[in-house]
C-alpha cells in the first residue's frame, strides 16, 4: 500500500537522528593555498610606481595606494616637478615613504631608469601603474602625422614601456606583481573629435589583454581602468576645445555630458577612479587579469 510522507515528518525524523550519525560518503572540499601577486599588509612592504602622478587621477591614485600601505615612486615630467614634490610630501605625511622621479614615459631608457631608481630607493617593485597620458581635441581630417605620433608615443608606447620594463623587474624578483594601465571609456566607444585619443586607448585595452596572457605564467596580473568624464585638467581642456567647436561656453559641454550621458548624473572626481585602482592593486583582485574596468558613473555598460 502506497503512502505519502509529509515533508514536516521527514524533517522531524532527520532531526531525531543520533548525534553520532554521519553519511556513508564524506565529501571534503580541497584546500587551496592562495598565492598573492602582491604581498598583503601583514607581509613585506609593498611598493608602487605611479606615472603622471603630480596631479589629477595620478595624484589621487598615489595618495590612495599610500593609504593602502604602499611606498610610492611619484613620477611625472620635469615641467611638473613641483607638483610631484608636493605629492611626495603628502604621502610622507601619511607615514609612508615616497620620492619623486622625473621621466618621460614615451622614452624607454627613461622608464628603465625610473624602475631602477624605484627599486634602489624603495625595494622590490610590486605594482606599476602606467597612468600618464595626454588628450587632444581635433577633427579627424585636421590631424597631422605629428598629432598621431605624439598621441601614440605617450599613451601607447608609454604604457608598453612601463608594462615591459616593470614586468622584467618583477620576473627577476620572482614574486609576481601587478601591472595597471590607464584606458578610458573611449576604449569601448570613441568620442567625436577625440579620434586618435580614442584609438590610443583601444590600443591600451588590447595591449593589456595581450600582456595578461603572456605574464600569467610569471604570476603577474595585468588590468586596466577606464575613467569616464572626470573633473581634471585634461577634461577641462577637452571641454574648452569642444566648446570652441560647438560654440558653447566653458563648462557647458561637461555639464551637458554629465546630465545626458552619465546615469548617476554627476561628473566623476579622481577619487572615484583611485578607489577602483586600489582594488586592482590589492590581493582581492589576484584572480583578475586581462580586464579593463569602467568607472564612469554609467555611460558605458559592459
Mean pLDDT, the chain, rounded, equals 88
pLDDT at 299 over 50: yes
pLDDT of residue 243: 77
pLDDT-wise least confident of 152-156, 217-221, 227-231: 227-231
In the predicted model, what is the mean pLDDT of residues 30-42? 49
Question: Mean of the pLDDT values across residues 260-280?
Answer: 94
Q: Which of 125-139, 177-191, 229-243 shows the lowest per-residue confidence on average (mean pLDDT)?
A: 229-243
pLDDT band at 285 (very low <50, low <70, confident <90, very high): very high
* Mean pLDDT computed over 203-215: 98
What integer pLDDT is reported at residue 39 of this predicted model?
Answer: 52
Region of residue 146 (left: phi > 0; alpha: psi -120 to 50; beta: else): alpha
- Integer Cα distance of 50 and 66 in angstroms: 11
CA distance 100 to 86: 9
Options 70, 157, 163, 197, the catalytic residue: 197
Looking at residue 3, its pLDDT comes to 46
Mean per-residue pLDDT, 154-164: 98
Domain range annotation of the chain: 42-228+269-295, 229-267
The mean pLDDT value for 129-147 works out to: 95
More confidently predicted of 191 and 281: 281
Highest mean pLDDT among 29-38, 194-203, 245-254: 194-203
- Please, what is the angle between helix 145-152 and helix 195-215, to 10°? 30
> What pLDDT score does 21 carry?
46
Q: Above 60 in pLDDT, residue 225? A: yes
DSSP secondary structure string for all residues of the chain: ------HHHHHHHHHTS-TT---SS---PPP-----SS--TTSS-EEEEETT-SSHHHHHHHHHHHHTTEEEEEEE-GGGHHHHHHHHHHHHHTT--EEEEE--TTSHHHHHHHHHHHHHHH-S--EEEE-------B-GGG--HHHHHHHHIIIIIHHHHHHHHHHHHHHHHTS-EEEEEE--GGGTSPPTTBHHHHHHHHHHHHHHHHHHHHHGGGTEEEEEEEE-SBSSHHHHHHHHHHHHHHTPPTTHHHHHHHHHH-TT-S-B-HHHHHHHHHHHTSGGGTT--S-EEEESSSSS--
User: Binning pLDDT at 50, 70 and 90, where does residue 14 land?
Assistant: very low
Residue of 256 and 133 predicted with greater confidence: 133
For domain 42-228+269-295, give the CATH number.
Answer: 3.40.50.720
pLDDT at 163: 99
Q: Which residue has the higher pLDDT, 250 or 285?
A: 285
- In angstroms, the CA 105 to CA 126 distance is 19
Determine whether 287 is an active site residue.
Answer: no
Amino acid at each position: 500500500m502506497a503512502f505519502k510522507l509529509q515533508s514536516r515528518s521527514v524533517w522531524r525524523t532527520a532531526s531525531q537522528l543520533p548525534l553520532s550519525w554521519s553519511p556513508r560518503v564524506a565529501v571534503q572540499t580541497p584546500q587551496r593555498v592562495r598565492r598573492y601577486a602582491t604581498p598583503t599588509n601583514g607581509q613585506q612592504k609593498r611598493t608602487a610606481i605611479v606615472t603622471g602622478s603630480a596631479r589629477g587621477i595620478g595624484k589621487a591614485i598615489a595618495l590612495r595606494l599610500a593609504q593602502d600601505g604602499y611606498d610610492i615612486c611619484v613620477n611625472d615630467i620635469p615641467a611638473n616637478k613641483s607638483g610631484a614634490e608636493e605629492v611626495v610630501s603628502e604621502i610622507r605625511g601619511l607615514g609612508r615613504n615616497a620620492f619623486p622621479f622625473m621621466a618621460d614615459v614615451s622614452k624607454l631608457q627613461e622608464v628603465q631608469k625610473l624602475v631602477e631608481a624605484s627599486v634602489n630607493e624603495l625595494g622590490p617593485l610590486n605594482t606599476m601603474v602606467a597612468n600618464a597620458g595626454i588628450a587632444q581635441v581635433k577633427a579627424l581630417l585636421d590631424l597631422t602625422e605629428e598629432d598621431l605620433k605624439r598621441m601614440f608615443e605617450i599613451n601607447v608606447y608609454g604604457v608598453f614601456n612601463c608594462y615591459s620594463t616593470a614586468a622584467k623587474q618583477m620576473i627577476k624578483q620572482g614574486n609576481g606583481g601587478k601591472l595597471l594601465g590607464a584606458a578610458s571609456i573611449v576604449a569601448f566607444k570613441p568620442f567625436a573629435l577625440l579620434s586618435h585619443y580614442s584609438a590610443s586607448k583601444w590600443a591600451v585595452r588590447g595591449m593589456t589583454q595581450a600582456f595578461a596572457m603572456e605574464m600569467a605564467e610569471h604570476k603577474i596580473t595585468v588590468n586596466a581602468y577606464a575613467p569616464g568624464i572626470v573633473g581634471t585638467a585634461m577634461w577641462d581642456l577637452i571641454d574648452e576645445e569642444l566648446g570652441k567647436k560647438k560654440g558653447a561656453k566653458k563648462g557647458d559641454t561637461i555639464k551637458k555630458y554629465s546630465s545626458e550621458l552619465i546615469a548617476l548624473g554627476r561628473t566623476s572626481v579622481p577619487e572615484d577612479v583611485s578607489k577602483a585602482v586600489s582594488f586592482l592593486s590589492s590581493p582581492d583582485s589576484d584572480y583578475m587579469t586581462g580586464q579593463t574596468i569602467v568607472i564612469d558613473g554609467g555611460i558605458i555598460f559592459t
